[in-house]
Structure 1
Amino acid sequence: MWATERVWDEAVGLPRIEEGEEVAPKDARELSKLFFDRLRTLEEGSPEYHYTRNTLIEMNLALVHYVAGRYRNRGNGQLEDIVQVGTLGLIKAIDRFDRARGHEFVSYAVPCILGEIKRHFRDTSWAVHVPRRLQELRVALTKSQERLSSTLGREPTVRELAADLAMSEEQILEGIMAANGYAARPLDAPNVLNEGDEPSKNGRSLADILGHSDPAIEAFENAHALAPLIAALDERDRRIIELRFGQEMTQDEIGSVLGISQMHVSRLLSRTLVRLREGLLARE
């Protein structure tokens, strides 16, 4: 008898297994042979086919948990997500497995599950999306750096990495730059110069040392754009602009300096500002 209670299903010609996940791994290995042989004789889409295929999946989920367990401390995702991805690999293995070739299902399924999980990490663990070729280049660079560091007793240069991988120095530099997108750090993280260093004792975070948008930049850009327009004004209009915005004088004070009324200053200033504004808009 198998580890689980069996009820022979005459329609399918297989043991009726109510809880496939509760089948012991040793029993699952033998039962899977029966189910694979029967699966190939059933019409795809039929109720019997679905029962046989689904039971195969349930009985072999232990393989998924075994492979996924290697990545429980990876940190790139929850174990449940890894199991989900691994289950997809198991399903693909079941759909492609041919027992007539003489291979054990376990030896065929484990690489399929492992490959699906590795593909998941390769596609989702990068903080910034980069092309697949650069993701693969990062892996090659890491191995080359470790190999050359062991041989040379120091960190290899770009030229040495290029020679080791039979690539150009430009390609190596591109791969090194792309590797910066593998992991992201929050702005409130403690400031460290290199990975593995102790956090800064002054309590400064990354946000404290990163640049900020300078509000004066826009004023500078506007002043730079206005310079040729102001230079084109007549002397009196330039003088009014300088007194009003350079020395921050009132219109009454400007009128006293120029010997004209405050109302006259207001009209001249309004006319000049309109002219400058139109000049700026025409440059955009």
Structure 2
Amino acid sequence: MTEATTTYVTKVTNGTREELPVLEAPQEIAPRDARALTKVFLRELAEREEGTHEYQYVRNTLIEMNMTLVRFVAGRFRARADEMDDIVQVGMIGLIKAIDRFDLSREVEFTTFAVPYIQGEIKRFFRDTTWAVHVPRRLQEARVELAKATDELSSKLGRAPKVAELAPHMDLSEREVVEAQLAANGYNSTSLDATIGGGDGEDDDAALADLIGEEDPALELFEDFHTLAPLVEALEERDRLLLHLRFVEELTQAQIGERLGVSQMHVSRLLARSLKRLREGMVDTGTSG
């Protein structure tokens, strides 16, 4: 395991100085050692107050330690080697989300929790940046050549070139040029903001999005509140107060501890216990329903 060369003094509690190891090169730690250290640093992250220098140090170290996990997941997409740098970058976004949302009370390995987040960001990247419909490779390449040829001939002719003019310039048949033009339509989908119609009135043109139905997120939110309300009501008064202070007044755990005269660690444990109980109640209700 990579040895810590110094220690980072975080705070003093009841006369005891708590120290956290500082790692020289966390991104170079072996995966097995990174898994063990990740557990330690995740516990430390849960105990630190957001926005503090200590919290940022722990969070950044967790990110660097688990970069190998991002590369491992990105390796599954090695067929897209030309985009690997971008794939790793978006995978890092998934890793950061996993670190910020990991809950120690879930009793699940961090790698098991993080991989779906990393994969999700990578797949979203592909969905947002690749072809809207499947197009053969030769036509994808022809589309690039078509764009270049169109620009060159447009500059020379002072107008958009015709198929008969593009064909000899691209060393393709007119039919192949037409296929390339059709393939180009598969690269980008029509914007939902595109207008349709064309009446005489100023407001006759409507956006495509205006004609597409969508789910009302308020309905799902209402269902969640309807399910959650009795579960919250069943909690003890102190637990309900903690939830109110944390999620309604948006106080930090340290601020809650000061107001109630308890330690931040105690607040963290109580919140984790209440959230676990609510989460399990939501799952049970959803299963029975």
Q: Which has the higher contact order (CA 8 A, sep 6+)?
A: 2
Higher-Rg member (1/2) = 1
What TM-score range do you get, normalising by the shorter chain? 0.3 to 0.5
TM-score by length of 2: 0.46
**TM-score after normalising by structure 1:** 0.46
